[in-house]
A and B are shown apart, each in its own frame.
Chain A
Amino acid sequence: MNLSLFSPQIVLGIGGTLLFLFEAFASERGRSFLPTLTLLILALSGVLMWKSYGEIGVLFSGMVVYDRFFVFFGTLVLLGSFLAVSFSRPSLQQQDAFRGEYYALVLFSVLGMTLLISAANMIIVFLGMEIMSLPLYIMAAMRRGSERSVEAGAKYFLMGAFASGFLLYGIALVYGATGTLSIEEIARVWPRGAGFSSLGVAGMLLIVIGLAFKIAAVPFHMWEPDAYEGAPTAVTAFFAAGPKIAGFAILLRLVSWAFSFSDPVILRIVWMLAALSMTVGNFLALTQSSVKRMLAYSGIAHAGYALVGLVVGGTVAIGLVGYYLLGYLLASVGAFAVIATLEKSQERSLSFADCAGKGKTNPGLTLVLTLFLISLAGIPPVAGFVAKFYIFEQALQHGFVWLVIIAAVNSIVSVYYYLRTPVYAFMKTGEETNPDIRISAGLVFTLVVAALGTIIVGISPEYFIKLASSSVMWFF
């Protein structure tokens, strides 16, 4: 067994533990280095992840795999976390949520995500899920003085526990139907074509429900707006970047590897989840007055668009889901970073009306925010458009005409609320300026990387799509 293939996770685990200890004994000044240390550990993990790119290794007697899929989605998670951590300190401080343990929790959560993405056994799926989620609950409640924040954490925790139950029960049923927990083994005995046992299908559906909770697909989405809005905005950015991607990754791995996805039952159910998520997410986003909550609902809608790729299936479409998530990650982390900077009060989150006149007072910030929103809305030439375009194209080719019609109508609807912020920022005049906007180096880094990424990934998509589809190639 080549342990070095597991080194990304090891680094995150040890790094998180050390950071915890360091935080307990460090002075106030020492604590200010925590973000930097976190970034270093994330970067190191990323480097180790890419060191053996192309190899395939099964570790710990088939518990964990190292493959291209792990590297691709692991990189997405690390990139998202990196960007979310990079601008976090001033933003957390402003919201009175800067605590040392936050950074250790980030690392633990990322460890859980990487474990989840590399899982080759149902036990690791569950374990990874819990390691990832427990820190998230705490992070949501990071603003200890704020009722909303604590409420968000509590709700998230309760709902998460609830969903974990479904997941676990599903795993148990699948074990009952197949007699194994190894994903590879399940894939071997899972019937292709006819002959599904209702026990196995029910187990599979329960697992899908558990994961649908993590990616916030309708009707398992209710926690998301509350958790996103209640958490400090830097944490929200992390929520959008990390858990959602990791949840999608394991969903893709399970449905395209373990449960060969030819079963019409699950196809229809995921079809319905996709259609519902897009529609409900978009329609609810329309009515929001808070930018942050609007983005939370838009995250639900985006889960729906990405699920379209899962419905289509096959190397190309599943690869495109990966590409889609990359575009979503860059744009949403960037957008949350801008919102975190523009927010002024601790209790009330940024509303559209607050954005009025920001185009004059903070032209740079509003301009990049517009770029991210344009990408989320799927307007050319940036990443969001290209990803949507390719996924819809695949769906059309495979005959999912109605799903594409629903998706296209939803895209049009979404333009309304995405462009509201720029409209307020550039076309309405605000009553006062906000003098205490701090632009830290970390924020500049996040915004520059996210903006350039959004543009580059959109303008020359070939490389990224190839990378994403080569990562899922071996499932098929």
Chain B
Amino acid sequence: MLNTIWLIPVFPLIGFLINGLGGRRLSRYGSGVVACMMVFFSFIFSLLAVLFLKENSYHIEVLDWVVSGTFSVSFGFILDPLSSVMVLTVSGVAFLIHVYSTGYMAHDEHVSRYFAYLNLFVFFMLILVLADNFLLLYMGWEGVGLCSYLLIGFWFHKDSAANAGKKAFLVNRVGDFGFALGIFLIFWHFGSVQFPDVFAAAPEVLGAGGGLATLICLLLFLGATGKSAQIPLYIWLPDAMEGPTPVSALIHAATMVTAGVYMVARCSALFVFSPTALLVVAIIGAATALFAATMATVQNDIKRVLAYSTISQLGYMFLACGVAAFSAAIFHLMTHAFFKALLFLGAGSVIHAMHEEQDLRKMGGLRKYLPATFLTFAIATLAISGFPGLAGFVSKDEILWSSFSSPLGGLVFWIVGVLTAGLTAFYMFRLLFLAFYGKSRFDDTTAAKIHESPMSMTGSLSILAILSIVGGWIGWPEALGGGNSFGNYLEPVFAQAKEYLPQGGHHAYSTEYLLMGLSVAIGVIGFFWAYRWYISESPAAERIKERFPGLYTLVLNKYYIDEFYQAVIVRPLIGGSRLLWHKFDELAIDGAVNGLGRLVRAIGRGGALAQTGYFRAYAAFFSLGAALVLGWMIYLMR
């Protein structure tokens, strides 16, 4: 069974080929069915493979890829607990979102192109998580970036969508450049890019100290900040919401953006050799979590709230990585995939029902129009806000606890995390209240057209809702009488990293109860705050706006970070490029190239004159050549 794991990514590739090449011949329905089936096969094969996985890690090399001197890379896959969690999450959530898409995209003209891209994305994502070496990981990494670009700009006739795709691609290039440099450095110093070789040699190569470990890890992390939208490269994700909503759910919430977290966790054996890099990861993660959460509190676009929320939650995961709680990060990655996908799909359902309306100010009271969507959305809101018992509570609590108790953590990280939790509860309930409660802020003609989404959509919502409730139970903390079986399952992957970490002191359960209670309390405060402002005395929000107009505008405009980048990086870059283009490229380079070309052609024309077409000229030329050859021979032999 295990030697067929290479089929897991192949299925979506087949789906991509079918839809990409023959999509025009398929009906809309057929395209969707093919795409769903292929991802479903992937999921089934993943499930079987994970069930059959007995040893700690299964490694298979399928094909030689690059063989050049001492450098050789193969198409090889690794299945271990870490990649097991990832393939199951990716293929499972992807399947649900594919099914949802059949309903959501049913009226789009280019549905086969949509499904082709979506399948291609799943292919690259599965390659990414199954890869056994950095180069293949990088291929998947670039591939998902490409698909993200294609899907953000899926409605490319809209300028905003095309620009958002471009922005995502360009910002990611910055991160990918760092990632590539990191891989080069790894190959330079390790002589291999295979994970087993590199990790086995890590203590020897990096253990000596020096800046090498820090440099490699920070470069890798730069790649992660691009893909996973962390400070300073998070700016592309909110704009990426221009894509179809299921795409936002799959790529920009559940899977692709978590690739950075996966990569850092995969490289845990490298990161533990650089406490500096880990500290940077933790600080960036914590800062992003808080910063993005504040921006989420004032957004009026339903998807943008969720986008900032995603950035914030990814910050949590990096915070966990930074304090070396890798399994907690992966755990939150998984539960987040469930509830954030659910939130996006719910938002999609709302948008679908409201006929492409995304502005929260024009919603309200949707509870009675969209009961199924409301119910599942409410569950997801409770989950992400950390309502005790639900998936988000368990995983977030583990991160908070680790950020406090880990020898690499500290009280500051915990405080930032808890503040973020409070803000999370606030902005999520704000969203819920604005969209589903209160008076409807749309006219009656719109109201008449609102309808609950089809089964394909609500079905996916329901399954994700169940997962958002029970998904956390597999990692129930020991303090609450659970076994933390999720952490134990991942144990072997991070065993090597753990050896090189400082051992923390033991903390009593009572501390854990106290902190848990505090974080739940802060969540409840966030909830009441939102309730007070948006339900019981709804003008309250307006009063705040009036009292602190400067602060409000600052946050509403996302702290003017985009404008800052525009002024400091983009404009000078474009200006400089223009200058190079006109002054250097057009004059110097083009001039030289064209001049050379003209020269070459002139020589050729001169030579062509000798080709007169007269036989006597040919014979004379021939004889001359022969005479020269013989003459030269006589000269040489004299």
Contact = CB atoms under 8 A, between A and B. Distances in A.
A219 B607 contact: no
A287 B605 contact: yes
Interface string B599-615: 01101110110010101
Contacts of B608: 284, 287
B633 A265 contact: yes
16 contacts: A155-B618, A163-B622, A196-B637, A198-B637, A201-B633, A205-B629, A206-B626, A218-B625, A222-B617, A265-B633, A269-B629, A284-B608, A284-B611, A287-B605, A413-B600, A416-B597
B628 to A, nearest CB: 8
Q: Which of B611, B613, B621, B633 has the most CB of A within 10 A?
A: B633
Contacts of A155: 615, 618
A435 B1 CA distance: 55
B634 interface: yes
How would you classify the secondary structure of chain A's contact residues: helix, strand, loop or mixed? helix
Contact of A287 (B604, B615, B633, B637): B604
B636 interface: yes
Given A198-B634, A208-B629, A269-B633, 13 more contacts: A202-B633, A205-B630, A209-B625, A209-B626, A213-B622, A269-B629, A269-B632, A283-B604, A284-B604, A284-B607, A285-B604, A287-B607, A416-B600
B463 interface: no
B622 A219 contact: yes
Contact of A220 (B625, B630, B633, B637): B625
A291 interface: no
Interface string A399-435: 0000000000000010010000000000000000000
Interface in A136-179: 154-155, 158-159, 162-163, 166
A264 to B, nearest CB: 7
Contact of B619 (A159, A209, A265, A272): A159
Contacts of B567: none
B624 interface: yes
Interface residues of B, number: 27
Given A201-B637, A205-B633, A416-B597, A159 B618 contact: yes
Q: Which of B600, B611, B629, B630 has the most CB of A within 10 A?
A: B629
Contacts of A163: 622
B632 to A, nearest CB: 7
B636 A264 contact: yes
B629 A162 contact: no
A268 interface: yes
Nearest to B614: A155
A219 B617 CA distance: 12
B611 A283 contact: no
A283 B610 CA distance: 13
Contacts of A285: 604
Name the 4 nearest CB pairs between A and B, nearest first. A219-B625, A287-B604, A222-B618, A283-B604
Contacts of A283: 600, 603-604, 607
Contacts of A416: 597, 600
B616 to A, nearest CB: 10
A320 B3 CA distance: 40
Contact of A265 (B607, B618, B621, B637): B637
Interface of A: 154-155, 158-159, 162-163, 166, 196, 198, 201-202, 205-206, 208-209, 213, 218-220, 222-223, 225-226, 264-265, 268-269, 272, 280, 283-287, 413, 416
Interface in B556-608: 597, 600-601, 603-605, 607-608
B622 A159 contact: yes
Contacts of B618: 155, 159, 222-223
Nearest to A283: B604
A226 B615 CA distance: 11
B622 A162 contact: yes
A219 B637 contact: no
Contacts of A206: 626, 630
A285 B603 CA distance: 11
B626 to A, nearest CB: 5
A51 B216 CA distance: 60
Contact of A166 (B600, B626, B633): B626
A94 B608 CA distance: 30
A159 B619 CA distance: 7
Nearest to B613: A226
Contacts of B621: 219, 222
A225 B633 contact: no
Contact of A268 (B613, B615, B619, B636): B636
A220 B615 contact: no
A319 B528 CA distance: 84
Contacts of B637: 196, 198, 201, 265
Contacts of B605: 287
Contacts of A198: 633-634, 637
Interface in B296-339: none
A196 B611 CA distance: 36
A304 to B, nearest CB: 14
Contacts of B600: 283, 286, 413, 416
A418 to B, nearest CB: 14
A38 B625 CA distance: 39
A125 B637 CA distance: 27
A225 B613 CA distance: 10
Contact of A202 (B619, B624, B630): B630
A274 to B, nearest CB: 13
Given A159-B615, A219-B624, A222-B618, A265 B636 contact: yes
Nearest to A196: B637
A286 B630 contact: no
A205 B634 CA distance: 11
B334 to A, nearest CB: 41
Nearest to A204: B633
Contacts of A162: 619, 622
A213 to B, nearest CB: 7
A63 B275 CA distance: 81
Contacts of A269: 629, 632-633
Contacts of A265: 633, 636-637
Contacts of B625: 209, 218-220
A220 B605 CA distance: 19
Contacts of B607: 280, 283-284, 287
Given A283-B600, A284-B611, A222 B622 contact: yes
A80 B223 CA distance: 52
A208 B630 CA distance: 11
A158 to B, nearest CB: 6
A342 to B, nearest CB: 24
B457 to A, nearest CB: 40
Interface in B182-239: none
Contacts of A268: 632, 636
B349 to A, nearest CB: 43
Contacts of B632: 268-269, 272
A238 to B, nearest CB: 22
Contacts of A196: 637
A213 B607 CA distance: 19
A158 B619 CA distance: 9
A19 B634 CA distance: 49
Contacts of B622: 159, 162-163, 213, 219-220, 222
Nearest to A219: B625
A183 B621 CA distance: 30
Nearest to B603: A283
Contacts of B603: 283
B600 to A, nearest CB: 6
Contacts of B604: 283-287
Contacts of A284: 604, 607-608, 611
Q: Which of A223, A226, A284 has the most CB of B within 10 A?
A: A284
Contacts of A201: 633, 637
B2 to A, nearest CB: 29
A166 B626 CA distance: 9
A10 to B, nearest CB: 35
A283 B604 CA distance: 5
